[in-house]
Structures are given as structure tokens and as C-alpha cells.
């Protein structure tokens, strides 16, 4: 089963060159017999590099994510493992980390310093901080040009925090490009927005669990996919669900901007860099394009089938459930993966399929896609251990260190306490009371969150019961009508 795909650019030159980097398609595929993580040239389908067999710890890689163009993080289906590979090392020596459970999804901060992983309903944060060294090199090419090269060193892989982010399993984790927020979506239909300052600050076990700064009741059925725009704190959050809706929320206002209803359960979504086009895929192989700014602004609640043709476009080709969608940087190409064992590249302007990627394993099923550019002039200084193995990153800690002596108050609490002390002259006793009051308030907010979830469940159950009773009433009326028709026909015959 192919489970991870993304585009990246690589520099196959040494020294200075004016050649443009090449665009590659990287995929992770898994079957019952073999699993691979490979890079392909989308123009001709040729293999550029390949990891398989003994290179992988398990035959079922689930997701692969490229960091800084040289390190690939790989998670595995139903395995509490995370594997890291350095692409600059010809021996392809990998580093294995044993975790508390299988990673359902993970994300890396824009600068590559933090790793956010979802294990069941908990969100873990590991430090993958890379130390930078600057090297200046001069290349005589007509005019003197100075290039700055960054050398990345290893990290400690420390587990900073672990929070209970949802009541159900987390299905998607996204990190904003400005390193301000981390967004999680779960099977309970909720989307939570977390301040990254809370996630990187270790807390004692006695402290109350942190709460998200924004919580959306986005869907009534499990969320299948979520994408975040590229505007930082002004980004939009797009989510799809089995309830046949695409929701668009604004991080800036914290409110629901739009809800689009479709005819089939949705399983994947993607957006371009301008946030003007949104792509969604369904469980029957349908792919649609929705243009937000094609004409008059759309209403808050929209039925996709009733939209004018200038707002939408359909991509026809897949026959089974679409598992992942992604666009390139220019927004002119769309890549899709589905359970029909195919990966397709589409022309966004006309909806035509330009190429079908053939993978090198038997009966692969792609389930994840992502475009990732790589700046070609960056080089990296790779450290080795005594045996010569590459140590691009250290092993991730299995557990979080909750030693109160080495922990600090979260950033949000620090700012709140400092403001209170400075403005109102609060002493140490009042400071402790203030922290205790905030912990109590967090407990109240947590109870409100549970109450909201129970109310949503009750509404769903009430609707299901009412629909059932409504259908039973219809059946009884039909039976009575049939009896009356039979009696009338009997009287006519007599």
C-alpha cells in the first residue's frame, strides 16, 4: 500500500550551477510483501532514489515527510516506531525511535525545529532543533557573488510535552508556517487550535492540562482530512468529513466562514497557495475544484451541485476512494492518490490527467500526498558516531520528563502572572491563588467541552430516533392504505 507521496526539488550538481532544480515525486508505498519509500521524476516516471527491503524497519510505511531536503521521517501502520533517513548518505543508514504507540499523523514546524506527533488522542511534541553554522563561499561568475551555506548539526530528540488533545483518536496534525499554532482534528468532529508556546513548555504532572485557544465543532461525523492555508495567523482551515461537508474556518476571526455540502462523503482536501481554489475528493473517486473568487462572493452555506459552472470543475479518472490531494507551488498541477492503485497528475486549468505514476511494488495503494520544495544551494554537515553511522537526529524520547524542578510555567501563564504582578502589586500568596484560580477555570472549560460533546451526541441520537420513528409511521400508513385497498376491492367483487 502506498501511503505517502510528496514533491520536492533536489540539486544534482556540485558547486555553483545556474541549472534549475528538478521536481521529484516522493512516495511511500506498502503491501503485504514489501514496502518502499522512493522518489520519481514526474516527467518520465523514472526512479531517482529508493528505500526498500532491509532499509525499512517494517513493510507498511504509512507516511513520509521530508525535512530540510535531506532527512525523511517515516511512520508505520500500527507500529509504535518512527524512522529517520538521511538522503545525503549513500549508505542510507537510518535511525529508529520507539514511541508509546503508533503515530496516526505527524507534522514538522516550518524551520524543522519541532516534531508534532499524534498517538491515539494525545499530541506529543519533540525537539528536533538543528544548530546552524554559516559558511561563506565565493564563486567567480562575471561578478563576485557570495553564497551563504547552512550546516545543520544534530539534536537531542527530547520529548517536551504530551497533552490529551481530544477525546477520540487524532486523524490530522498541521503546523502553521509562521510557527505560531498547531491544529489537530479528530474522529469526534472537533478541530482544536493550540498555541505552540504551550506545546514547547514542559509542565509538571500536577498542573492542569492546557486547553486550546480555539475549538470548532466542525462536523457531526469523523473528520477525514484537514488542510491549513499559507497566511499564518490569518490562514483558513479546511476540513472534510464523512458528513458530506467541507468547512472553512478563519484563524483570524475564529469563526466559521463557509460550509459547502456535497452528494458523497468526502475523504480528502487540498488548497493552493493563494487560498483561492480548494480541491476535494470523495469515497467513490470523485474530485472537484471549487473556485472562491470566480464571480459573486459565495454564501455562508452552499450546495455544490447548485453552483454555477464557473465556480467548479470535475476531475474524472479515479474509480475508488480518493485518499489524498495536493497541489504544487504554482497551483497549476494537482496530484491525487486513490485506492484504485494509481497516482495521477492533473492539469488544474482544464481537469485533464497528464500522467499516471506507476509504482514499483505489487498492488500499491497511495494514501498521502504533499508537495515539498527544497532549496538546492543548502548543504548540510552530517555528524557520525564511532561506527560511522549517520546521526542526523537523535532518537526521540519515549516519555516526557515531568520533573517539576526542571519545568517552567507555560508562556501564556507567565505573561498573565507578570502582567498581574506588575499592574496590581500581587504578592507571592496572591500569585499562587491566581494560578490556582486559572487551573480551576481550565477544569471548568474542560467540563464545558465534555458537555458540548455530549450535547452533540444527544442531537445525533435524537435525529436518528426521530428518523426511525418517522419511517415506521410511514410504513404503518402504507399498511393501512393497503388494507383499505383490499377491503374496497373485496366489496366491489361482492
Give the model confidence (pLDDT) of 308-323 as tens digits: 888 999 999 998 999 8
The mean per-residue pLDDT over the stretch 209-230 comes to 92
- What is the average per-residue pLDDT within 233-259? 94
Q: Using alpha carbons only, how large is the chain's radius of gyration in Å?
A: 26
Q: Residue count of the chain, please give it.
A: 494
Please say if the pLDDT value at position 201 is more than 50: yes
Query: Across residues 155-177, what is the average pLDDT?
Result: 88
Which range, 74-88, 223-237, 324-338, is most confident?
A: 223-237
- Calpha distance 385→66 (Å, rounded): 23
Instruction: Provide CB contacts within 8 A for 363, sequence distance 6+.
Output: 31, 341
Which long-range CB contacts under 8 A does 374-378 form with residues at least 24 apart?
Answer: 374/8, 374/9, 374/10, 374/11, 374/21, 374/66, 374/68, 374/69, 375/9, 375/69, 376/9, 376/10, 376/11, 376/13, 376/21, 377/11, 377/147, 377/149, 378/68, 378/69, 378/149, 378/150
The lowest-confidence range among 53-57, 244-248, 429-433 is 429-433
Of 69 and 75, more confident: 75
Mean pLDDT of 405-425: 35
Mean pLDDT of 37-60: 77
Q: Which three cell numbers stand for residue 281?
A: 475528493
Strands 369-371 and 2-10: parallel
- Most confident range (mean pLDDT) of 23-37, 217-231, 354-368 is 217-231
How high is the pLDDT of residue 429? 55
- Confidence band (pLDDT; 50, 70, 90) for 51? confident
Which residues have C-beta within 8 Å of that of residue 42, sequence separation ≥ 6? 7, 23, 24, 25, 345, 355, 357
For 142, counting Cβ atoms within 10 Å of its Cβ (0-12 exposed, 13-18 middle, 19+ buried), the class is exposed
Question: Rounded distance, CA 305 to CA 36, Å?
Answer: 40
- Look up residue 260 and give its three cell numbers: 459547502
Amino acid at each position: 500500500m502506498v501511503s505517502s507521496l510528496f514533491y520536492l526539488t533536489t540539486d544534482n550538481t556540485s558547486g555553483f550551477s545556474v541549472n534549475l532544480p528538478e521536481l521529484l515525486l516522493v512516495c511511500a508505498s506498502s503491501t503485504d510483501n514489501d514496502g518502499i519509500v522512493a522518489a520519481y521524476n514526474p516527467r518520465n516516471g523514472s526512479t531517482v532514489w529508493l528505500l526498500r527491503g532491509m532499509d525499512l524497519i517494517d513493510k507498511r510505511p504509512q507516511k513520509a515527510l521530508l525535512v530540510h531536503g535531506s532527512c525523511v521521517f517515516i511512520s508505520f501502520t500500527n507500529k509504535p516506531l518512527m524512522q529517520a533517513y538521511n538522503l545525503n548518505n549513500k549508505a542510507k543508514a537510518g535511525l529508529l525511535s520507539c514511541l508509546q504507540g503508533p503515530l496516526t499523523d505527524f507534522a514538522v514546524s516550518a524551520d524543522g525545529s519541532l516534531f508534532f506527533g499524534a498517538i491515539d488522542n494525545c499530541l506529543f511534541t519533540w525537539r528536533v532543533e538543528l544548530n546552524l553554522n554559516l559558511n561563506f563561499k565565493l564563486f567567480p561568475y562575471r561578478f563576485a557573488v557570495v553564497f551563504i551555506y547552512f550546516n545543520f548539526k544534530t539534536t537531542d530528540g527530547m520529548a517536551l510535552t504530551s497533552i490529551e488533545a481530544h477525546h477520540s483518536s487524532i486523524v490530522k496534525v498541521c503546523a502553521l508556517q509562521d510557527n505560531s499554532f498547531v491544529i489537530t482534528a479528530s474522529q469526534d468532529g472537533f478541530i482544536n487550535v493550540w498555541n505552540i508556546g504551550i506545546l514547547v513548555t514542559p509542565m509538571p504532572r500536577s498542573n492542569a492540562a492546557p486547553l486550546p485557544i480555539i475549538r470548532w465543532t466542525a462536523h457531526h461525523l469523523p473528520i477525514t482530512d484537514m488542510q491549513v492555508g499559507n497566511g499564518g495567523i490569518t490562514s483558513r482551515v479546511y476540513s472534510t468529513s464523512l458528513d458530506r461537508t467541507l468547512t472553512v474556518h478563519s484563524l483570524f476571526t475564529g469563526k466559521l466562514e463557509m460550509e459547502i455540502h456535497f452528494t458523497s462523503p468526502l475523504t480528502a482536501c487540498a488548497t493552493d497557495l493563494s487560498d483561492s481554489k480548494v480541491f476535494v475528493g470523495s469515497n467513490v473517486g470523485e474530485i472537484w475544484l471549487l473556485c472562491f473568487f470566480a464571480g459573486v462572493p459565495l454564501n455562508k452555506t452552499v450546495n455544490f451541485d447548485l453552483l454555477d459552472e464557473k465556480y467548479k470543475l470535475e476531475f474524472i479518472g479515479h474509480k475508488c476512494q480518493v485518499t489524498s490531494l495536493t497541489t504544487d507551488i504554482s497551483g497549476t498541477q494537482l496530484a491525487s492518490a486513490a485506492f484504485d492503485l494509481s497516482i495521477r497528475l492533473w492539469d488544474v486549468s482544464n481537469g485533464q490527467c497528464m500522467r499516471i505514476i506507476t509504482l514499483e511494488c505489487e498492488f500499491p495503494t497511495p494514501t498521502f500526498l504533499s508537495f515539498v520544495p527544497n532549496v538546492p544551494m543548502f548543504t548540510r554537515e552530517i555528524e557520525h558516531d564511532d561506527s560511522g553511522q549517520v546521526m542526523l537526529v537523535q532518537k526521540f524520547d519515549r516519555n516526557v520528563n515531568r520533573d517539576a524542578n526542571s519545568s517552567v510555567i507555560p508562556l501564556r501563564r507567565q505573561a498573565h502572572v507578570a502582567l498581574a504582578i506588575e499592574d496590581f502589586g500581587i504578592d507571592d500568596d496572591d500569585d499562587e491563588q491566581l494560578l490556582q484560580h486559572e487551573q480551576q477555570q481550565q477544569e471548568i472549560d474542560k467540563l464545558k467541552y465534555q458537555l458540548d460533546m455530549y450535547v452533540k451526541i444527544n442531537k445525533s441520537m435524537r435525529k436518528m430516533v426521530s428518523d426511525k420513528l418517522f419511517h415506521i409511521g410511514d410504513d404503518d400508513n402504507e399498511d393501512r392504505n393497503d388494507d383499505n385497498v383490499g377491503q374496497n376491492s373485496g366489496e366491489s367483487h361482492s
